[in-house]
Structure 1
Amino acid sequence: MTSAKKAGIRKILTIITSLITAVVLIFCLLFYLIINSYINKINYEKTDEPDINSNQIEILHTDEDLSDVKQDYADAIEEIDEIARKSMEDTQTSIISDDDITNILLIGCDGKEKNIRGRSDTIIIISVNRRTKTITVTSVMRDIYLHIPGQGNNRINAAYAFGGANLLMETIKHNLNIEVNRYVAVDFYAFVDVIDALGGVCIEVSEKEMNAVNDSIESMNIFTGVEELNNRLTEPGLHLLNGKQALAYVRIRKVGNADFERTERQRRVLRQVFEGIKNMNLLELNDLANAVLPQVTTNLTKGEIFSLILGLPSYIKYELQELRIPVEGSYTDMRVRGMAVLNIDFGKNIKKIYNKIYQEEKD
């Protein structure tokens, strides 16, 4: 082969290589621009300082029915207050963390109006363990009585109303001994949109649950100006629940074992959401993102979100496991200042969290 032909072949190979490189770069740029356009729809909170709401603190501290408290409980209340205070002090220097594990706090807010911060109605820790290839969904019951840094003792769900997501994360960190620095907060409008985008969730609804669902739906209809009987369930059994019906279902509290079954219902729906998103096509994912992302608030950075997105093909194959705090046999029911609360054994629950999420024994 002549040198001229060799030079010609090298030139052609160079051109082909350049074209392939250019195409790859263009696709990478397009991918970045598309993903960035979605990420820009999210509401970002950059500060790590709790957003203390003085008016909300006053309302929550004075909205307690003191007439329900018997004097016989005075010693017990003092004891549980001391336990809550000591628990936070004992965990100050032993926070659990692991570079292979990402903990993200998922907050469902019960504000009646958009942009109004209420108590955190749903508190769930999503833990992605890249070492064991597991995703753990930990429901934290909202009636747990503990110490809220700077605000005294109260139920955990008051922390969000007092100081937003940052104060809630700080409360979890110093009481449950787990490193949670990132959160995603969604209100009920976003939850409804997610379920509707998935085409609903299939749930077996008992007669008592149906009655509670219908009561909640009627209240939502009245609040939103919709015909009162719209979306009511007509009989118990297996239902494909739409967004509004699913929201009413996960908020049921006075059926069965109170908040224990309520958090179980939430995890049941989350499992279907997780499976449903895995099976969505690109057009469906686009519709879901456009509907939900503007209603999401987070302190995840854009870089962290990109990293999570790039890891999705692997994460959707991870084993999904569940945990509820407090675990069985680790709590007692009490009334404190008129509030129904859970007095929990923090040591036993911290050990369970460590064993489940980190897949290691803790002394």
Structure 2
Amino acid sequence: MRSDKYQRSKKRKRIRWSSIFLLLILLVGAMFIYAYMQYRSGVNQSEKGTEPKKQEYQFNGERDRNGLTNILLIGSDARGDEPSRSDTIMIASYNPDKESYKLTSIMRDTYVEIPGHGMNKINAALAFGGPELLRQTIKDNFDISLQYYSIVNFEGFVRLIDEAFPDGVKVDVEKKMSKGIGVTLEPGVQRLDGKHLLGYVRFRQDAVGDFGRVERQQSVLKEVGKEFASIQTLPKLPKLIGVVSPFVNTNMNTGDILYMGKGLISKENRDIETMRIPVEGLFENQRVSGAGAVLAIDLEANRQALQEFLAK
């Protein structure tokens, strides 16, 4: 009798756990279906009225020896199939052990040796040989391994901001800006939509030139990271990837992006450490025949500073 009750109880427990397991499978499946549908919705939304055409690039990415995931971020002003110099060069570094994020801006006028092309501004490497040559240039000069690349055109940036932040991104515009950016910005704290935010991070027609532009780019990316966290954007992430994907040329897959992005937007006040190359005091402004105004850097000192920044 007691044995029969025990067997019935054991059977009920097996049924209960089987039901829970089945429910978990259904929930996970539903989540994947939802994520995919959101991703496709974003892609379809961005592709309306556009004919995205992505050039295929070779990229011999390497894992960083310290376990970091380093991504070469390129903002390009390309028009059609024309070769283009990189408008923005950044290294985004993700440390999976610490779940920390770092962002390094390399100023486009930094004067370095480009493999096979001699000394030139670093932003010329993209036009000479695509992201692979830019990767080699950074590796040869700074001894930093880059595993992934991502080329983002300006339209993709605008669409991502407008989709993620319908009310705009909070920015303190420090002065009136209009020359060369296609919009007019008045000074003061305000929320900017994608088009005006793009103008803000591209402006460099003042006394500080590209130095101010790099500082604004880093400041905006940190603010965007905070606002992502504050509005708990994780459920929207698949759609946001879909919205921007037609305007991004990358060797990263959606899973890589979700894995690295979830930590950034799922915790409040996520801090992104930033750095600029060349480091203050470790370069000189020079004019070089054929290249124009360049930043002649103390290569060894800048290389060491960058490696220490990423390693700590």
Q: TM range, normalised to the smaller chain?
A: 0.7 to 0.9
- State how far apart, in whole Å, the 2-side matches of 1:314 and 1:98 are: 27
1:195 matched to 2:161? The reply is: yes
* C-alpha displacement of 1:124: 0.9
Task: For residue 262 of structure 1, give the secondary structure of its aligned residue in structure 2.
Answer: helix
User: Offset of 1:206 from its aligned partner?
Assistant: 3.5
Alignment of 1:1-363 (within 5 A): 2-35=2-35, 47-48=58-59, 97-113=64-80, 116-197=82-163, 198=165, 199-207=167-175, 209-212=176-179, 215-217=180-182, 232-233=184-185, 235-280=186-231, 281=233, 284-285=236-237, 287-301=239-253, 304-305=256-257, 307-308=259-260, 319-336=271-288, 337-359=290-312
Q: Which runs of 5+ in 1 are unaligned?
A: 51-94, 219-231
Identical-residue share of aligned pairs (%): 37
Counterpart residue type for residue 58 of structure 2: T
> Which one has a larger percent helix, Structure 1 or Structure 2?
1
Cα deviations by residue, 1:189-227 (Å, 9 ceiling, x for unpaired): 0111122222322222244x4243xx5225xxxxxxxxx
Residues 1:315 and 1:172: Cα distance change in structure 2 (over 3 Å): farther
* Counterpart code for 1:210: M
SS at match of 2:218: helix
Size of the aligned set, in residue pairs, is: 297
Alpha-carbon distance in structure 1 between the residues aligned to 2:275 and 2:259: 26
Cα 1:153–1:37, aligned 2, differ >3 Å: closer, same or farther?
farther
For 2:56 and 2:95, the matched residues in 1 are separated by 25
Whichever residue aligns with residue 246 of structure 2, its letter is P
Task: Provide the rounded CA distance (Å) in 1 between the counterparts of 2:255 and 2:188.
Answer: 45
Offset at 1:39? 7.0
Distance 2:295 2:72 in 1: 21
Larger radius of gyration: 1
Tell me the TM-score normalised to structure 1 length: 0.72
In structure 2, the CA distance between the partners of 1:307 and 1:248, relative to structure 1 (3 Å rule), is closer
C-alpha distance 320-302 of structure 1, shift in aligned 2 (>3 A): closer
Alpha-carbon separation, structure 1, partners of 2:111 and 2:293: 9
